[in-house]
Amino acid sequence: MPSKLPFFPEQASSFAGDVDALTLWLIGMSAFFTLLIAGLVVIFALRFRRRSPDQVGTKFDESPLLEITWTVIPLLIVLFTFAWGAKVYFRLYRAPAGAAEFHVTGKQWMWKTQHPTGQREINELHLPVGEPAKLLLTSEDVIHSFFIPAFRVKTDVVPGRFTTMWFTPTRTGRYHLFCTEYCGTEHSRMIGWVTVQEPEAYQDWLASVPVPATLRERGEQVFARLGCAECHGGTGGRGPALEGIAGREVELAAGGRVRADENYLRESIVDPGAKVVAGFLPLMPSFRGQVDEEEIGALISYLKSLPEPTTAAAAAASESVIR
Amino acid sequence: MSHADSSALAHQFDSLAQQKESATLGMWLFLCQEILFFGGLFVTYLLYRWRDPTAFAAGSHELDIVLGGFNTVVLIASSLTMAMAVHSAQTDKRRQLVGYLVATGALGIVFLVVKYFEYSAKWHHHLIPGAGFRFEGAVGGRAELFFSLYFAMTGMHALHMVVGVAVLAWILKRARAGEFGSHYYNPVECFGLYWHFVDIVWIFLFPLLYLIGRHYHGGA
Amino acid sequence: MIAHEMPKSHYLNAEHGLKSWLLTLDHKRIGLLYLLGVSFFFLLGSAFAMLVRLELLTPEGDLMSADAYNHVFTMHGVFMVFFFLIPAIPGVLGNFALPIMIGAKDVAFPKLNLLSWYVFMTGGMFTMYGLLSGGVDTGWTFYPPYSSLYSTSAVLPVGLGVFINGFASILTGVNFMVTVHRMRAPGMTWFRLPLFVWGQYATSLVMVLGTPVIAITLVLLVLERLFHFGIFDAAKGGDPVLFQHLFWFYSHPAVYIMILPAMAVISEVIAAFARKRIFGYHAVAFSSIGIAVLGFFVWGHHMYVSSQSVYAGVVFSLLTMLVAIPSAIKVFNWTFTLYKGAVALEMPMLYAMGFLGLFTIGGLTGVFLATLGFDVHVHDTYFVVAHFHYVMVGGTIMGYLGGLHFWWPKMTGRLYSTFWGKTSGWLVFVGFNLTFFPQFLLGMQGMPRRYHAYPEEWQVLNVLSSAGASVLGVGLILPVIYFLWSLRAGRVAGPNPWGARGLEWETSSPPPTLNFDEPPVVDHEAYDYGPPTDEPAAGAAPAGAR
């Protein structure tokens, strides 16, 4: 629906209403204080005009009560604003489990998007209305930023790591997509369109795009091509078994624990010596240069699809074994 | 008051006491901002070391602890001679003052010469970050970040040493001309503050850069 | 009306010749040297601004190439932030007025003061060299990896120029702090100081403690560019977001370097033109220090969407809300000072009133941006551009112009044309609002920053903005003309043309080289205008009041 606020883009995501309500509060509160101050300044300046050249003003003693009043009231207002803003912010960054996961790669000066079912787009993203979508984003070169004004969402896209965002589109239509972190010559042309469709139209569109492989399938192909199973397959391998690895807490050889999220899995592929799992030796070579960002994303999709180990032996294989 | 006294008072001040307090306060403020300057480097170091302790240990292991330790002793000694120089100025001992200043400068130069040898050794071992960097060992290219910080931090420190030695030469010249004595020794004192500060920075750099690799044994 | 005569000998005619200016140790002359310097860089920055607004008249990038546009907006930012906004009020007005206001002969370290000007100009020359070799296209924020590994522009000379310029800030800050601590006239206790001095002191705290961090950040960037050290390169284990932390650790406090001096001027102007003590003197003084200190803890609000942890975002948002409060306290105290004042709507007061309105809008939109849920939508859009121009132009430039109009008679002994002054003031006020208010709307609609070309539907607002910029430009050129004209043909001002209280108004206009014929002794609080009365009370009306 069109935003209640004039000059705001239409509301096309589940967040937009919340962000706009917050904005309305900010505008109202600010307009009040601006008019108050501007009004008082003008009124006082005119009402208390100097009437003779030597006239002086009336001095007032300092008033702690007044100072406290106009300290505490603004403080309460900003704290309230902070709390509301933080609440909205947490919702923006906590993707629900089970959201369809899309991969986005930014590079000078285009956006490459991939659907979980494998369809790829350039500077476009088709989405089904009403379904939560989570995006996993990275950059191949400089810092970019992925911005859909109608959804009220944005995240920087950084080389060397994944960032995430999520939303549920609530309205069909075509919406602007912008790069909004200055990234060089064609920064203002690194733009595109997000197209939200009814579910059937979306399925039709999916079917019309040739798919070499889903993200998961692609990841499985890369896994095989690189021979990962030589060390990570089955029990007693040189590397920890990877069933159920995604999201699990892992103990590190150097001490401490880490959650095997997307960024840890990515690091383990390009910089495997940095955080070796406890009980394993630092034998894994780096695959930097042998996989590009999209393939890394695909591998992670594949790893996420691996089920938890079902037997005690398989579970033991992912525990520490010194070789 | 001697001729030196009245000419020492700058026009904006009403008394030598005001001038002395102002100069000293000014030097302390300058040192505060130096803390922030090096602080940025230390924060960067702490972050990257926390992220990859093994790489940092491996890199540190390549540094020469003997030379680093020697340099530490040299600098601490130079702080001692500097403090003695200030004391000499305060007690009207001109020849001692000159002697201690020369000793401080000489020790500073020894430090820089040792640094030169350390840096050229790094050059020969391909440990200068950039295109020619090569690190043998399990850690491999990950050590480059350690060496980047090593050169940035010790390089900045060395630059401060060079400036210090240059200013010391100027103070020495004035000391030899008999400008300083119990009536007027503030420039020596303020310079001493700077010299001690540069020394303290090294006291932090040495363990953080040289000593963390002592027990490293070649893993990744 | 008393007709005045210029004093026979004063700091401007005490010595003649280029050497007496280039080797001066007089803080007042150094202030004028800074005036020349910052005016030049402001002109340069404004020229780039006009080019930006010209390009944005049309949705297509048809005036210049994308590459040229990227250089233009970057150089606008670099010159304006580092070579105008940061040095202007401290360098010009602080240098000129602060020692006189505390009853001193000069600053604590006059030679360092002169050195700071040379360092400022050297930094400027390095940056000019960078400009002439093609300029930089990274944005004034220099984010890597673009600035370290991808841009082929003059990052090195410009980065070095900004680095060198930082030392000017540090020297000025140290100088002012020591001056305030050690050079106050007898009887001038801390709480008898004019609020301008409190404001400059707070600014100096930030200059001294914040600037070294941008220095080391630029050093690392230069090393990265020259040698590819890897400190900000993800492929080598480095972190490009670390640069943002280091950069904003200075650059956020830097905005308080820009606004605190303007606030300091406003205190003086309101007191003088309402002829009463600023209400809540202690609150205003402590708020200045509070802003300076709190300002160091909020840098992460520039990075809510940078991949920084959401918990860090929450902490920074809360702290940013807190730093808004001392500014609000000041605005309320200034406004209340006008109540039952004896208000004269002279030029400086009109600028102060403009400041109150525009800084309020600018500051409140800062609260918008501090709000997490809202900032995600408008970060890196024109909303941010509008916000910072409201505080930096509506705030700092209004303060600077107000201060120039206030102290010009003291600096030169001449009065300027009120008619042209008011004309230019209105042009600036109207032009400014027309330029930047539409940009809030553009930002809310989603127009990103640093865009050379934009979707058609945003053209109307962009045209309004560019039209406003032309009006603003005319308004800003006029003072140059009428100030220069006043030097030849302006009415002689006399020691106290405004009838204001303050040590600077108790000496001649222009002052003698050592500021006072007799060193002052202070036995009263600041702004003691005496009890209100319609006739001049004995001793209450300052000498020279019209």
CA A93 to chain centre: 6
Confidence of residue A97 (pLDDT cuts 50, 70, 90): confident
Residues of A in contact with C379 (CB under 8 A): 154, 180
Q: What domain range is A253 assigned to?
A: 215-319
Nearest residue of chain A to residue B50 (CA atoms):
A274
This model of the complex carries an ipTM of 0.92
pLDDT digits (tens, 9 = 90+) for A255-294: 889 999 999 999 999 888 888 898 888 888 888 888 988 8
User: Would you list the DSSP string of C207-251?
Assistant: HHHHHHHHHHHHHHHHHHHHH---TT-GGGT--HHHHHHHHHHHH
Instruction: Looking at the structure, tell me whether residues A202 and A113 fall in a common domain.
Output: yes
Same domain, A272 and A286: yes
Q: What is the pLDDT of residue A309?
A: 73
Per-residue pLDDT tens over the stretch C294-323: 999 999 999 999 999 999 999 999 999 999
Give the end of a domain, one of A211, A236, A257.
A211
Give the chain C residue nearest B41 (alpha carbons): C216
Cβ–Cβ gap C228/B29 under 8 Å = no
Number of domains in chain A: 2
Spatial distance between the Cα atoms of A106 and A162, rounded to a whole number of angstroms = 11
Query: What is the band of C543 on the pLDDT scale with cuts at 50, 70, 90?
Result: very low
User: What is the tens place of the pLDDT at every residue in C398-448?
Assistant: 999 999 999 999 999 999 999 999 999 999 999 999 999 999 999 999 999
Do A96 and A53 lie in one domain? The reply is yes
Co-location of A236 and A197 in the same domain: no
Q: Which of B49, B52, B135, B216 to mutate to test the interface with A (most CBs of A within 10 A)?
A: B52
Per-residue burial over A44-76, b = 16 or more CB atoms within 10 Å of its CB, e = otherwise: bbeebebeeebbbbbbeeeeeebbeebbeebee
Sheet of A133-139: strand order equals A120-122, A110-114, A100-107, A133-139, A163-167
Q: What residue of C is the nearest CA neighbor of B44?
A: C242
- Across the interface, do A282 and B55 touch by the CB < 8 Å criterion? no
Q: Model confidence over C449-466: pLDDT tens digits?
A: 999 999 999 999 999 999
The count of domains in chain B is 1
A282 neighbourhood in chain B, CB within 8 Å:
54, 138, 219-220
Give pLDDT tens digits for C47-68. Answer: 999 999 999 999 998 999 999 9
Q: Are residues A177 and A250 in the same domain?
A: no
User: What residue numbers bound the domain in which B20 lies?
Assistant: 16-211
Among C residues 294-333, those touching chain A with beta carbons less than 8 Å apart: 304-307, 310, 313-314, 317-318, 321-322, 324-325, 328-329, 331-333
Asked if B142 has any chain C CB less than 8 Å from its own CB, the reply is yes
| Minimum-distance CB partner of C446 among A67, A142, A149 | A149
**Both A173 and A281 in a single domain?**
no
Domain boundary among A159, A188, A211: A211
Closest by Cβ to C229, choosing from B52, B55, B129: B129
Q: How confident is the model at residue C189 (pLDDT cuts 50, 70, 90)?
A: very high
B131 falls within a domain: yes
| Interface residue A276 vs chain B (CB under 8 A) | yes
Residue B8 within any structural domain of the chain: no
Mutation to test the C interface, candidates B42, B52, B148, most C Cβ within 10 Å: B148
- How much is the average pLDDT of C158-172? 97
Please calculate the CA angle B182-B185-B186 and round it to the nearest 5 degrees.
135
Tens of pLDDT, residues A200-246: 999 999 999 888 788 899 999 999 988 888 888 866 678 888 888 88
Burial of residue B2, with CB atoms counted within 10 A of its CB: 0-12 exposed, 13-18 middle, 19 or more buried: exposed
Query: What does the pLDDT look like over B101-131, one tens digit per residue?
Result: 999 999 999 999 999 999 999 999 999 998 8
- The confidence score (pLDDT) of residue B7 equals 64
Q: Are residues A181 and A294 in the same domain?
A: no
Q: Are residues A76 and A190 in the same domain?
A: yes
Say yes or no for a CB contact (<8 Å) between B32 and C217. no
CATH code for position A229: 1.10.760.10
- Can you give the length of chain A in residues? 323
Given A182, A211, A240, the domain boundary residue is A211
Residue A271 to chain B, least CA–CA distance (Å): 8
| B166 lies in some domain | yes
Residue B4 lies in a domain: no
pTM over 0.90: yes
pLDDT at position C533, please? 46
Residue B132 has pLDDT above 50, yes or no: yes
Give the count of beta carbons closer than 10 Å to the beta carbon of residue A270.
18
Which of C277, C317, C377 lies at the smallest CB-CB distance from A19?
C377
pLDDT of residue C1: 57
Give yes or no for A161 touching B (CB within 8 A).
no
Residues A313, A239, single domain; the answer is yes
CATH number of the structural domain spanning residue B166: 1.20.120.80
Q: Indicate the helix (H) or strand (E) that contains A264.
A: helix A262-270
Residue B7 lies in a domain: no
B220 found inside a domain: no
CA atoms within 13 A on the CB side of A176: 24
Tell whether A233 and A170 lie within a shared domain.
no
**Tokens of residue C213, six digits:** 């961090």
Confidence grade of residue C542 (pLDDT, cut at 50, 70, 90):
very low
A154 and A69, same structural domain?
A: yes
In degrees and rounded to multiples of 5, residue A139 shows phi and psi of: -115, 150
Residue-level pLDDT at A2:
65
pLDDT band at A316 (very low <50, low <70, confident <90, very high): low
Same domain, A189 and A253: no
What pLDDT digit, counting tens, does each position of B179-206 carry?
999 999 999 999 999 999 999 999 999 9
Tokens describing residue A8 = 């705001």
pLDDT score recorded for residue C271: 97
Closest CA–CA distance from residue C27 to any residue of chain A (Å) = 32
Is residue A146 within 8 A of residue A9, CB to CB? The reply is: no
CB atoms A22 and C341 under 8 Å: no
Is the Cβ of A224 closer than 8 Å to some Cβ of chain B? no
Contact state of B220 with A282 under an 8 Å Cβ cutoff: yes
Tokens matching residue C518 = 């007799």
Selected for mutation to probe chain B from A271, A280, A284 (highest B CB count within 10 Å) is: A271
| CATH at residue A52 | 2.60.40.420
